[in-house]
Amino acid sequence: MPTPDHRRLAARSLAVITGHQDPGGGYPAAPDYPVYGFSWLRDGSFIAEAASRAGAPGSATAFHTWCARAVTERAERVRRVVAARRAGERPAEGDFLPTRYTLDGQDPDVAGWGEFQTDGYGTWLWALTAHLERHRLDPAPYRSAVTLTVDYLAATWDLPCNDWWEESDEERHGSTLGAIHGGLAAAARAGLAEPAAVTPVLTALGHLVARHGTHEGRLTKWLGGEAVDASLLACLTPFSLTDPYGPLATRTVAAVERQLLEPGGGVHRYRGDVFYGGGQWPVLAGLLGWHHARTGRTAAARRQLDWIAAQATGDGLLPEQAPGARLLHPEHLARWVEEWGPNATPLLWSHAMYLILADALDIRP
Protein backbone atom coordinates (compact mmCIF):
# COMPACT_ATOMS: atom_id res chain seq x y z
CA MET A 1 0.00 0.00 0.00
CA PRO A 2 1.48 3.40 -0.94
CA THR A 3 2.17 5.82 1.89
CA PRO A 4 -0.84 8.15 2.21
CA ASP A 5 -0.36 11.88 1.75
CA HIS A 6 -2.04 12.77 5.02
CA ARG A 7 -1.51 16.51 4.81
CA ARG A 8 -3.16 16.60 1.42
CA LEU A 9 -6.14 14.53 2.57
CA ALA A 10 -6.42 16.64 5.72
CA ALA A 11 -6.61 19.77 3.59
CA ARG A 12 -9.21 18.11 1.37
CA SER A 13 -11.22 17.01 4.40
CA LEU A 14 -11.30 20.52 5.83
CA ALA A 15 -12.39 21.88 2.45
CA VAL A 16 -15.20 19.30 2.26
CA ILE A 17 -16.44 20.31 5.71
CA THR A 18 -16.31 24.06 5.21
CA GLY A 19 -17.49 23.88 1.62
CA HIS A 20 -20.67 22.05 2.52
CA GLN A 21 -21.51 24.03 5.66
CA ASP A 22 -24.79 25.88 5.33
CA PRO A 23 -24.53 29.69 5.55
CA GLY A 24 -26.59 29.48 8.74
CA GLY A 25 -23.99 27.27 10.42
CA GLY A 26 -25.40 23.75 10.20
CA TYR A 27 -23.47 20.88 8.63
CA PRO A 28 -25.39 18.43 6.43
CA ALA A 29 -24.42 14.89 7.41
CA ALA A 30 -23.94 13.90 3.77
CA PRO A 31 -24.94 16.45 1.14
CA ASP A 32 -25.54 13.96 -1.68
CA TYR A 33 -27.33 11.17 0.18
CA PRO A 34 -31.14 10.99 0.10
CA VAL A 35 -31.90 11.11 3.84
CA TYR A 36 -28.77 12.72 5.27
CA GLY A 37 -29.39 16.32 4.32
CA PHE A 38 -30.14 17.23 7.94
CA SER A 39 -27.73 18.45 10.61
CA TRP A 40 -27.34 16.04 13.52
CA LEU A 41 -26.03 17.46 16.78
CA ARG A 42 -23.83 14.39 17.27
CA ASP A 43 -22.28 14.40 13.78
CA GLY A 44 -22.12 18.16 13.70
CA SER A 45 -20.41 18.47 17.06
CA PHE A 46 -17.60 16.15 15.97
CA ILE A 47 -17.41 18.00 12.65
CA ALA A 48 -17.13 21.31 14.50
CA GLU A 49 -14.43 19.85 16.74
CA ALA A 50 -12.46 18.90 13.63
CA ALA A 51 -12.86 22.38 12.15
CA SER A 52 -11.86 23.97 15.46
CA ARG A 53 -8.69 21.86 15.61
CA ALA A 54 -7.74 22.01 11.94
CA GLY A 55 -7.67 25.73 11.25
CA ALA A 56 -11.28 26.76 10.65
CA PRO A 57 -12.46 28.04 14.06
CA GLY A 58 -14.97 30.37 12.40
CA SER A 59 -16.75 27.35 10.94
CA ALA A 60 -16.98 25.76 14.38
CA THR A 61 -18.23 28.99 15.93
CA ALA A 62 -20.94 29.26 13.28
CA PHE A 63 -22.11 25.72 14.06
CA HIS A 64 -22.17 26.29 17.81
CA THR A 65 -24.10 29.54 17.33
CA TRP A 66 -26.57 27.65 15.14
CA CYS A 67 -26.98 24.98 17.87
CA ALA A 68 -27.48 27.58 20.58
CA ARG A 69 -30.18 29.26 18.52
CA ALA A 70 -31.97 25.94 17.88
CA VAL A 71 -32.04 25.15 21.60
CA THR A 72 -33.10 28.57 22.83
CA GLU A 73 -35.92 28.69 20.29
CA ARG A 74 -37.27 25.55 21.99
CA ALA A 75 -36.94 26.81 25.56
CA GLU A 76 -40.62 26.30 26.33
CA ARG A 77 -40.40 22.67 25.21
CA VAL A 78 -37.44 22.13 27.54
CA ARG A 79 -39.40 23.65 30.41
CA ARG A 80 -42.34 21.32 29.73
CA VAL A 81 -40.03 18.29 29.67
CA VAL A 82 -38.46 19.33 32.99
CA ALA A 83 -41.87 19.96 34.57
CA ALA A 84 -43.22 16.59 33.43
CA ARG A 85 -40.24 14.72 34.86
CA ARG A 86 -40.49 16.58 38.17
CA ALA A 87 -44.14 15.54 38.32
CA GLY A 88 -43.16 11.92 37.79
CA GLU A 89 -44.61 11.82 34.28
CA ARG A 90 -43.20 10.97 30.86
CA PRO A 91 -42.99 14.10 28.70
CA ALA A 92 -45.11 14.36 25.59
CA GLU A 93 -43.26 12.97 22.57
CA GLY A 94 -43.62 16.30 20.77
CA ASP A 95 -41.76 18.08 23.57
CA PHE A 96 -38.54 16.10 23.25
CA LEU A 97 -35.88 17.98 21.30
CA PRO A 98 -35.02 16.66 17.83
CA THR A 99 -31.96 14.54 17.22
CA ARG A 100 -31.48 16.32 13.88
CA TYR A 101 -32.61 19.62 12.41
CA THR A 102 -33.16 21.00 8.96
CA LEU A 103 -30.34 23.27 7.90
CA ASP A 104 -32.49 26.30 8.69
CA GLY A 105 -32.99 25.02 12.24
CA GLN A 106 -36.49 23.58 11.97
CA ASP A 107 -37.81 20.26 13.24
CA PRO A 108 -37.43 17.66 10.48
CA ASP A 109 -40.28 15.93 8.72
CA VAL A 110 -39.03 12.36 9.03
CA ALA A 111 -42.00 10.10 9.63
CA GLY A 112 -40.92 6.73 11.00
CA TRP A 113 -37.58 7.94 12.38
CA GLY A 114 -37.43 8.27 16.14
CA GLU A 115 -36.53 11.76 17.31
CA PHE A 116 -35.84 11.22 20.99
CA GLN A 117 -32.08 10.82 21.27
CA THR A 118 -29.98 12.60 23.86
CA ASP A 119 -26.37 11.79 22.95
CA GLY A 120 -26.13 14.74 20.55
CA TYR A 121 -26.89 17.26 23.28
CA GLY A 122 -24.18 15.89 25.55
CA THR A 123 -21.76 15.82 22.63
CA TRP A 124 -22.60 19.43 21.80
CA LEU A 125 -21.82 20.60 25.34
CA TRP A 126 -18.47 18.81 25.19
CA ALA A 127 -17.54 20.18 21.75
CA LEU A 128 -18.69 23.71 22.56
CA THR A 129 -16.63 23.78 25.74
CA ALA A 130 -13.54 22.43 23.97
CA HIS A 131 -13.88 25.05 21.24
CA LEU A 132 -14.35 27.96 23.63
CA GLU A 133 -11.36 26.92 25.72
CA ARG A 134 -9.11 26.18 22.75
CA HIS A 135 -9.66 29.60 21.18
CA ARG A 136 -10.30 31.56 24.39
CA LEU A 137 -13.70 32.72 23.22
CA ASP A 138 -16.36 34.52 25.25
CA PRO A 139 -18.91 31.99 26.55
CA ALA A 140 -21.58 34.63 27.18
CA PRO A 141 -23.50 34.12 23.90
CA TYR A 142 -24.01 30.44 24.77
CA ARG A 143 -24.93 30.54 28.44
CA SER A 144 -28.71 30.49 27.99
CA ALA A 145 -28.54 27.57 25.56
CA VAL A 146 -26.13 25.68 27.79
CA THR A 147 -28.40 26.15 30.82
CA LEU A 148 -31.37 24.84 28.85
CA THR A 149 -29.35 21.88 27.56
CA VAL A 150 -28.13 21.00 31.04
CA ASP A 151 -31.70 21.18 32.35
CA TYR A 152 -32.89 18.99 29.48
CA LEU A 153 -30.21 16.35 30.03
CA ALA A 154 -30.72 16.38 33.80
CA ALA A 155 -34.40 15.65 33.19
CA THR A 156 -33.99 12.96 30.51
CA TRP A 157 -30.61 11.27 30.97
CA ASP A 158 -32.05 8.06 32.46
CA LEU A 159 -34.85 7.55 29.92
CA PRO A 160 -34.55 4.92 27.17
CA CYS A 161 -33.98 6.53 23.78
CA ASN A 162 -32.44 5.91 20.38
CA ASP A 163 -28.75 5.08 20.37
CA TRP A 164 -26.05 6.63 18.15
CA TRP A 165 -27.32 4.54 15.23
CA GLU A 166 -30.98 5.54 15.79
CA GLU A 167 -31.90 2.05 16.87
CA SER A 168 -33.06 0.20 20.01
CA ASP A 169 -35.13 3.02 21.48
CA GLU A 170 -36.31 0.76 24.31
CA GLU A 171 -32.82 0.58 25.83
CA ARG A 172 -30.45 2.83 27.77
CA HIS A 173 -27.14 2.84 25.94
CA GLY A 174 -23.58 3.04 27.16
CA SER A 175 -22.47 5.44 24.44
CA THR A 176 -25.42 7.76 25.11
CA LEU A 177 -24.64 7.87 28.83
CA GLY A 178 -20.99 8.47 27.98
CA ALA A 179 -21.85 11.46 25.80
CA ILE A 180 -24.10 12.95 28.47
CA HIS A 181 -21.40 12.48 31.09
CA GLY A 182 -18.78 14.06 28.85
CA GLY A 183 -20.91 17.08 28.06
CA LEU A 184 -22.13 17.78 31.58
CA ALA A 185 -18.69 17.31 33.10
CA ALA A 186 -17.08 19.59 30.52
CA ALA A 187 -19.68 22.33 31.04
CA ALA A 188 -19.22 22.18 34.81
CA ARG A 189 -15.42 22.31 34.61
CA ALA A 190 -15.61 25.34 32.35
CA GLY A 191 -17.98 27.19 34.65
CA LEU A 192 -20.78 27.06 32.10
CA ALA A 193 -23.01 24.93 34.32
CA GLU A 194 -23.73 25.10 38.03
CA PRO A 195 -22.23 22.15 39.93
CA ALA A 196 -25.50 21.75 41.81
CA ALA A 197 -27.26 21.02 38.51
CA VAL A 198 -24.62 18.62 37.23
CA THR A 199 -23.04 16.73 40.12
CA PRO A 200 -26.13 14.69 41.15
CA VAL A 201 -26.60 13.54 37.56
CA LEU A 202 -22.96 12.59 37.11
CA THR A 203 -23.00 10.67 40.40
CA ALA A 204 -26.20 8.79 39.60
CA LEU A 205 -25.08 8.10 36.03
CA GLY A 206 -21.77 6.68 37.20
CA HIS A 207 -23.44 4.41 39.73
CA LEU A 208 -25.95 3.21 37.13
CA VAL A 209 -23.25 2.30 34.62
CA ALA A 210 -21.17 0.58 37.29
CA ARG A 211 -24.14 -1.56 38.38
CA HIS A 212 -25.80 -2.33 35.07
CA GLY A 213 -23.57 -1.13 32.20
CA THR A 214 -20.67 -3.55 32.44
CA HIS A 215 -20.08 -7.22 31.72
CA GLU A 216 -16.90 -9.15 32.48
CA GLY A 217 -15.13 -5.93 33.34
CA ARG A 218 -16.00 -3.98 30.16
CA LEU A 219 -18.71 -1.57 29.05
CA THR A 220 -21.79 -2.88 27.29
CA LYS A 221 -23.89 -1.67 24.38
CA TRP A 222 -26.86 -1.12 26.68
CA LEU A 223 -27.64 -1.48 30.36
CA GLY A 224 -28.32 -5.04 31.44
CA GLY A 225 -26.87 -6.50 28.25
CA GLU A 226 -23.62 -8.12 27.19
CA ALA A 227 -23.14 -6.92 23.60
CA VAL A 228 -20.22 -4.83 22.36
CA ASP A 229 -20.68 -1.71 20.24
CA ALA A 230 -17.82 0.32 18.82
CA SER A 231 -19.53 3.56 19.82
CA LEU A 232 -18.50 2.66 23.38
CA LEU A 233 -15.02 3.86 22.45
CA ALA A 234 -16.31 7.43 22.84
CA CYS A 235 -16.97 6.70 26.52
CA LEU A 236 -13.19 6.49 26.87
CA THR A 237 -12.03 9.13 24.40
CA PRO A 238 -13.16 11.85 24.36
CA PHE A 239 -15.86 11.63 27.06
CA SER A 240 -13.87 10.00 29.90
CA LEU A 241 -16.85 8.22 31.43
CA THR A 242 -14.18 5.98 32.92
CA ASP A 243 -10.42 6.36 33.34
CA PRO A 244 -9.10 5.97 29.76
CA TYR A 245 -6.02 4.21 31.16
CA GLY A 246 -7.89 1.99 33.63
CA PRO A 247 -8.92 -1.66 33.45
CA LEU A 248 -12.53 -0.95 32.39
CA ALA A 249 -11.28 1.04 29.40
CA THR A 250 -8.60 -1.52 28.57
CA ARG A 251 -11.09 -4.39 28.55
CA THR A 252 -13.60 -2.38 26.52
CA VAL A 253 -11.00 -1.61 23.85
CA ALA A 254 -9.89 -5.24 23.83
CA ALA A 255 -13.47 -6.42 23.28
CA VAL A 256 -14.01 -3.95 20.44
CA GLU A 257 -10.77 -5.01 18.78
CA ARG A 258 -11.50 -8.71 19.24
CA GLN A 259 -15.06 -8.59 17.91
CA LEU A 260 -15.20 -5.62 15.54
CA LEU A 261 -11.73 -4.65 14.29
CA GLU A 262 -10.57 -6.12 10.98
CA PRO A 263 -6.92 -7.24 10.75
CA GLY A 264 -6.11 -4.65 8.09
CA GLY A 265 -7.84 -1.83 9.97
CA GLY A 266 -11.38 -0.53 10.06
CA VAL A 267 -14.06 -1.14 12.67
CA HIS A 268 -17.61 -2.52 12.42
CA ARG A 269 -20.43 -1.06 14.50
CA TYR A 270 -21.65 -4.25 16.23
CA ARG A 271 -21.93 -7.92 15.34
CA GLY A 272 -25.63 -7.84 14.43
CA ASP A 273 -25.36 -4.81 12.14
CA VAL A 274 -27.12 -5.33 8.79
CA PHE A 275 -27.08 -1.72 7.49
CA TYR A 276 -25.50 -1.97 4.03
CA GLY A 277 -24.40 -5.44 5.11
CA GLY A 278 -22.55 -4.28 8.22
CA GLY A 279 -19.32 -2.84 6.86
CA GLN A 280 -16.41 -0.97 8.41
CA TRP A 281 -16.79 2.67 9.36
CA PRO A 282 -14.06 5.32 9.03
CA VAL A 283 -15.77 7.17 11.89
CA LEU A 284 -15.12 4.24 14.21
CA ALA A 285 -11.58 3.72 12.99
CA GLY A 286 -11.08 7.38 13.88
CA LEU A 287 -12.47 6.88 17.38
CA LEU A 288 -10.28 3.85 18.00
CA GLY A 289 -7.21 5.61 16.67
CA TRP A 290 -7.96 8.71 18.73
CA HIS A 291 -8.08 6.64 21.90
CA HIS A 292 -4.83 4.91 20.98
CA ALA A 293 -3.18 8.26 20.33
CA ARG A 294 -4.38 9.56 23.68
CA THR A 295 -3.05 6.53 25.56
CA GLY A 296 0.33 6.41 23.86
CA ARG A 297 -0.25 3.64 21.31
CA THR A 298 0.96 5.81 18.46
CA ALA A 299 1.70 3.03 15.97
CA ALA A 300 -1.79 1.56 16.43
CA ALA A 301 -3.32 5.01 15.99
CA ARG A 302 -1.34 5.57 12.80
CA ARG A 303 -2.58 2.26 11.37
CA GLN A 304 -6.16 3.48 11.70
CA LEU A 305 -5.28 6.83 10.12
CA ASP A 306 -3.65 5.06 7.18
CA TRP A 307 -6.65 2.77 6.82
CA ILE A 308 -9.08 5.69 6.73
CA ALA A 309 -6.99 7.44 4.09
CA ALA A 310 -7.06 4.29 1.96
CA GLN A 311 -10.88 4.46 1.83
CA ALA A 312 -10.92 7.86 0.09
CA THR A 313 -12.14 8.14 -3.47
CA GLY A 314 -9.83 9.41 -6.17
CA ASP A 315 -10.95 12.96 -5.46
CA GLY A 316 -10.44 12.64 -1.71
CA LEU A 317 -13.96 11.94 -0.46
CA LEU A 318 -14.52 9.66 2.51
CA PRO A 319 -17.57 7.38 2.69
CA GLU A 320 -19.77 6.29 5.56
CA GLN A 321 -18.69 2.67 5.10
CA ALA A 322 -15.53 1.40 3.44
CA PRO A 323 -16.04 0.32 -0.18
CA GLY A 324 -15.26 -3.32 -0.87
CA ALA A 325 -14.63 -4.12 2.78
CA ARG A 326 -15.67 -7.34 4.49
CA LEU A 327 -19.34 -7.32 5.44
CA LEU A 328 -20.73 -9.00 8.51
CA HIS A 329 -24.03 -9.74 6.75
CA PRO A 330 -23.53 -9.36 2.98
CA GLU A 331 -26.97 -10.78 2.22
CA HIS A 332 -28.45 -7.45 3.38
CA LEU A 333 -26.41 -5.17 1.13
CA ALA A 334 -28.60 -5.25 -1.97
CA ARG A 335 -31.78 -4.04 -0.28
CA TRP A 336 -30.08 -0.92 1.07
CA VAL A 337 -28.47 -0.11 -2.25
CA GLU A 338 -31.82 -0.58 -3.97
CA GLU A 339 -33.62 1.66 -1.47
CA TRP A 340 -31.10 4.49 -1.02
CA GLY A 341 -28.29 3.95 -3.52
CA PRO A 342 -24.57 3.56 -2.74
CA ASN A 343 -23.51 4.35 0.80
CA ALA A 344 -23.15 8.02 1.69
CA THR A 345 -20.09 9.73 0.14
CA PRO A 346 -18.86 12.14 1.34
CA LEU A 347 -19.90 11.71 4.94
CA LEU A 348 -18.73 14.82 6.76
CA TRP A 349 -18.40 12.94 10.04
CA SER A 350 -15.88 10.58 8.39
CA HIS A 351 -13.80 13.57 7.29
CA ALA A 352 -14.10 15.01 10.79
CA MET A 353 -12.84 11.90 12.55
CA TYR A 354 -9.96 11.68 10.10
CA LEU A 355 -9.01 15.28 10.91
CA ILE A 356 -9.31 14.76 14.66
CA LEU A 357 -7.11 11.65 14.56
CA ALA A 358 -4.62 13.37 12.27
CA ASP A 359 -4.44 16.30 14.70
CA ALA A 360 -3.93 13.89 17.62
CA LEU A 361 -0.91 12.59 15.67
CA ASP A 362 0.35 16.14 14.97
CA ILE A 363 -0.65 16.05 11.29
CA ARG A 364 -2.51 19.16 10.12
CA PRO A 365 -3.60 20.65 6.78
Catalytic residue among 229, 273, 320, 359: 320
Catalytic residue among 163, 229, 273, 359: 163
The C-alpha atoms of residue 244 and residue 237 are separated, in whole angstroms, by: 7
The C-alpha atoms of residue 270 and residue 226 are separated, in whole angstroms, by: 12
> For residue 30, which of 265, 307, 282, 271 has the smallest C-alpha distance?
282
Catalytic residue among 32, 107, 158, 166: 166
The C-alpha atoms of residue 312 and residue 6 are separated, in whole angstroms, by: 11
169: annotated active-site residue:
no
166: annotated active-site residue:
yes
163: annotated active-site residue:
yes
| Neighbouring residues of 164: CB distance < 8 A, sequence distance ≥ 6 | 42, 119, 173, 175, 176, 231
Segments in 225-281 forming alpha helices (H): 233-236, 247-260
Q: Cβ distance 298 to 361 under 8 Å?
A: yes
3-state secondary structure of 270: coil
> For residue 184, which of 223, 152, 161, 141 has the smallest C-alpha distance?
152
- Cite the active site residues: 163, 166, 320
